[in-house]
Structure formats: structure tokens, C-alpha cells
């Protein structure tokens, strides 16, 4: 098995061609066999519902090569369940959990040589997606669907890695509507966030921190990741129907409880930003990253938490989570599946 010529420890969060992807089609009322492909392209009908009416959902999860050489996939059943909710949220055919997990195992095994070495701190990002492929000109759901899973080796999502990041906040942008699709993972939500993301970048910030789209009173989503704050011994994170229920955040809440912290899931009023000792953003890509500065660009108000180093709680949570993923900490909650490679 030839090792790819990649600088593993310098990988950004981006696309690198791996060897194979896997695909599965829903047709005539059933999911077919999983097909292996070495093509980076998908043949699509020019009227496919994904192209015209955005029938597309996706997921993001990671495989890690551990200190012990074993390869672990983190909480894939959770992604499988969310993939079902996303499909149902836009009238697509949901893929059963077991089929999803089978595809994940297969695509990881097929691309073994692209799983970054432990020392690099990088990982293999797995990107499942589902699209409606039937031709549709009237606005209605497709009859046929395709699930594709591709992989790409990735490094840190934010350019400064684990160092605190700077974000901006503005009331001029909504990622989703109040009773819309914020709690599912569909491409349309990300298209709707691109202008806000561009604005944040132009101003020198990594992402846009959104307030809730209904009242603009509460903290909501932080770019493509969840938000949390730390106050004394309490981990606080938004309870909001417009944010994506993050699997990373769910894991951090458990780890915070394990560390003896109190966990609160509730609305977080904007003014409470003055009360946190630490704030951060978390997700599969972002892991958990401290926010050093929040700039409210509408009101010219800055909330500072320190750009030098992440605070003690974020640091502890980060190391605990990464330790479980890389096999250096006991996986007491049974979150990782070790992938068995045929020798």
C-alpha cells in the first residue's frame, strides 16, 4: 500500500482526492447494493430535483488513526440518525442506520492509505450526502435518491488550529427561518450562510455568530458549528430549534458532566456574553475551539475573552475528546467503533 505524498501535519480543512467513494441508489421502492467508484463525478439528469429544488442533505464525521495504530470512527450511529431526520425534513427517502454504517466502514477501509498518521493530529473526514435524482420540473419530491460517501484527509478547520478564534456578530443575516430547516443538515442552509461567512472573512473574522432569527435576542449558531459558554462550573449552550443538534456538543456536555460540571441547555440572551469566562464553538470540523473575541459589528461592541490561549475548561474538554478519538483516553461511553481491516 503506497503512502500518498501528503504533508499530513500541514493539511488544511479541504478536499484531497482519495482512492474511492461509495454510492447507493434508492429505486423502485428499495435501496440497492453499495457500489464502489473511483470517479469524482456523478452523472445527473439535467432536471434532477437536487439541482433545481435543493433536495440535498449531508453529514460530516471523522475516522482517527490512534496512538495504538487502530482506526476509530466517532459516533457514526448519531450521524446516521441525523441523516434520517435531514432526509425526512425535505421529503427524501431516509437511509436505514445499518446501511449508513456499512457504507462508512466500507469507504474508510477502501481509503486506508489516506487515514492520516496519529502524530500529524489530522484525521479522515467522511462526507455522506443524499440527493434526489429523479427529473422534476413541478415542485415535488423525487422518487429516486442517491447516497454518496466520499472521504478526504483534513487538518484544523480554523487556520490557527486550537488557538482562540475571532468571530463577528450581526443582526443583518439569518442562516435559517424561525420554523425552517435549521435543525437539519441540508445544503440549502449552507448556501444561505455564504454571504454572512464572506462578510465575516472580509472583516478578518473566522465566522459569523448568529442571533436567533425570530427575536434577535438569543445566541444561536456559530458559523457551521454550535456555541457554548462557561460560567464558573457551568457549561451553557443554546437550546434552539434553529440550530443543528451537534454530536460534538452532545459529547462535550457529557464530558462536562463527567468532569463534575453543571450543564444548561437553554436560551442564552445576548447580554449574557458579558458573564462568561470562556466561550467557544464546537463541531466535527471545529472540534472545540475557544472564541477569543466576539465583535458585534452592528453596535461596535466587543466582547473579549483572550486571544492568547484557550481557557482551562475548553482545553480540558478538547484534550478529553481528542484523547477518546485517538485512543489515548478510555472510551467509557462507547463512542468509537474500531474499524477491522482485512489483512
The partner in contact with residue 71, picked from ligand PLP, ligand COI, none with C-beta cut-offs of 5 to 8 angstroms by kind, is none
Q: Does 295 bind ligand PLP (CB under 6 A)?
A: no
Cα–Cα distance for residue pair 262/231, rounded to 1 Å: 10
- Please state, as a whole number, how many other Cβ atoms lie within 10 Å of the Cβ of residue 285: 18
CB closer to ligand PLP out of 27 and 322: 322
Give the distance, in angstroms, between the CA of residue 95 and the centroid of all CA atoms in the same chain. Answer: 19
Q: Does 224 bind ligand COI (CB under 6 A)?
A: yes
The partner in contact with residue 226, picked from ligand PLP, ligand COI, none with C-beta cut-offs of 5 to 8 angstroms by kind, is ligand PLP
At closest approach, how far in Å is the CB of 134 from ligand COI?
26
CB closer to ligand PLP out of 114 and 125: 125
Residues 217-246 that bind ligand PLP (CB under 6 A): 221, 224-226, 244, 246
In the list 283, 292, 311, 327, the residue contacting ligand COI (rule: CB under 6 A) is 283
Over the window 137 to 156, marking each residue x when it contacts ligand COI by CB under 6 A and - when it does not, the resulting string is: --------------------
Give the pairing type, strands 287-296 and 278-283: antiparallel
Cα–Cα distance for residue pair 236/29, rounded to 1 Å: 44
Cα–Cα distance for residue pair 293/306, rounded to 1 Å: 7
Cα–Cα distance for residue pair 89/56, rounded to 1 Å: 11
Q: Quick check: 232 and 176 in contact, CB under 8 A? A: no
Over the window 188 to 217, marking each residue x when it contacts ligand COI by CB under 6 A and - when it does not, the resulting string is: ------------------------------
Nine-digit cell string for 342: 482485512
Q: Does 273 bind ligand PLP (CB under 6 A)?
A: no
Nine-digit cell string for 214: 425570530
Over the window 58 to 97, marking each residue x when it contacts ligand COI by CB under 6 A and - when it does not, the resulting string is: --x-------------------------------------
Whole-Å CA distances, 137 to 46, 173, 188, 244: 10, 30, 18, 30
Cα–Cα distance for residue pair 13/135, rounded to 1 Å: 34
Q: Which residues bind ligand COI (CB under 6 A)?
A: 60, 224, 283-285
Q: Which residues bind ligand PLP (CB under 6 A)?
A: 60, 221, 224-226, 244, 246-249, 283-284
Amino acid at each position: 500500500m503506497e503512502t500518498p505524498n501528503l504533508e499530513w501535519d500541514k493539511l488544511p480543512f479541504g478536499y484531497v482526492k482519495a482512492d474511492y467513494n461509495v454510492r447507493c441508489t434508492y429505486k423502485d421502492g428499495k435501496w440497492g447494493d453499495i457500489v464502489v467508484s473511483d470517479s469524482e463525478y456523478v452523472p445527473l439528469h439535467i432536471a434532477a430535483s437536487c439541482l433545481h429544488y435543493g433536495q440535498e442533505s449531508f453529514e460530516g464525521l471523522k475516522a482517527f488513526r490512534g496512538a495504538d495504530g487502530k482506526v476509530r470512527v466517532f459516533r457514526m450511529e448519531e450521524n446516521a440518525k441525523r441523516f434520517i431526520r435531514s432526509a425526512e425534513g425535505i421529503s427524501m427517502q431516509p437511509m436505514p442506520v445499518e446501511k449508513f454504517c456499512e457504507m462508512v466502514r466500507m469507504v474508510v477501509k477502501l481509503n486506508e492509505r489516506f487515514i492520516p498518521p496519529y502524530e500529524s493530529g489530522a484525521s479522515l473526514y467522511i462526507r455522506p450526502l443524499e440527493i434526489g435524482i429523479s427529473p422534476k420540473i413541478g415542485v415535488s419530491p423525487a422518487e429516486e435518491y442517491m447516497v454518496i460517501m466520499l472521504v478526504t484527509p483534513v487538518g484544523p478547520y480554523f487556520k490557527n488550529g486550537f488557538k482562540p478564534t475571532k468571530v463577528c456578530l450581526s443582526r443583518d443575516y439569518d442562516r435559517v427561518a424561525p420554523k425552517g430547516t435549521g435543525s437539519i443538515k441540508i445544503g440549502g442552509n449552507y448556501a444561505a450562510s455564504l454571504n454572512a461567512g464572506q462578510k465575516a472573512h472580509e472583516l478578518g473574522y473566522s465566522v459569523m455568530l448568529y442571533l436567533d432569527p425570530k427575536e434577535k435576542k438569543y445566541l444561536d449558531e456559530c458559523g457551521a458549528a454550535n456555541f457554548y459558554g462557561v460560567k464558573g462550573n457551568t457549561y451553557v449552550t443554546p437550546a434552539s430549534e434553529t440550530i443543528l443538534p451537534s454530536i460534538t456538543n452532545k459529547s462535550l456536555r457529557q464530558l462536562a458532566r463527567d468532569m463534575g460540571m453543571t450543564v444548561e441547555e437553554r436560551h442564552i440572551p445576548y447580554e449574557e456574553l458579558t458573564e462568561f469566562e470562556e466561550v467557544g464553538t464546537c463541531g466535527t470540523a471545529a472540534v472545540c475551539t475557544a472564541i477569543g473575541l466576539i465583535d458585534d459589528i452592528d453596535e461596535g461592541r466587543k466582547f473579549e475573552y483572550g486571544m492568547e490561549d484557550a481557557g482551562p475548561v475548553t482545553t480540558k474538554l478538547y484534550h478529553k475528546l481528542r484523547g477518546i478519538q485517538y485512543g489515548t483516553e478510555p472510551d467509557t461511553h462507547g463512542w468509537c467503533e474500531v474499524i477491522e481491516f482485512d489483512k
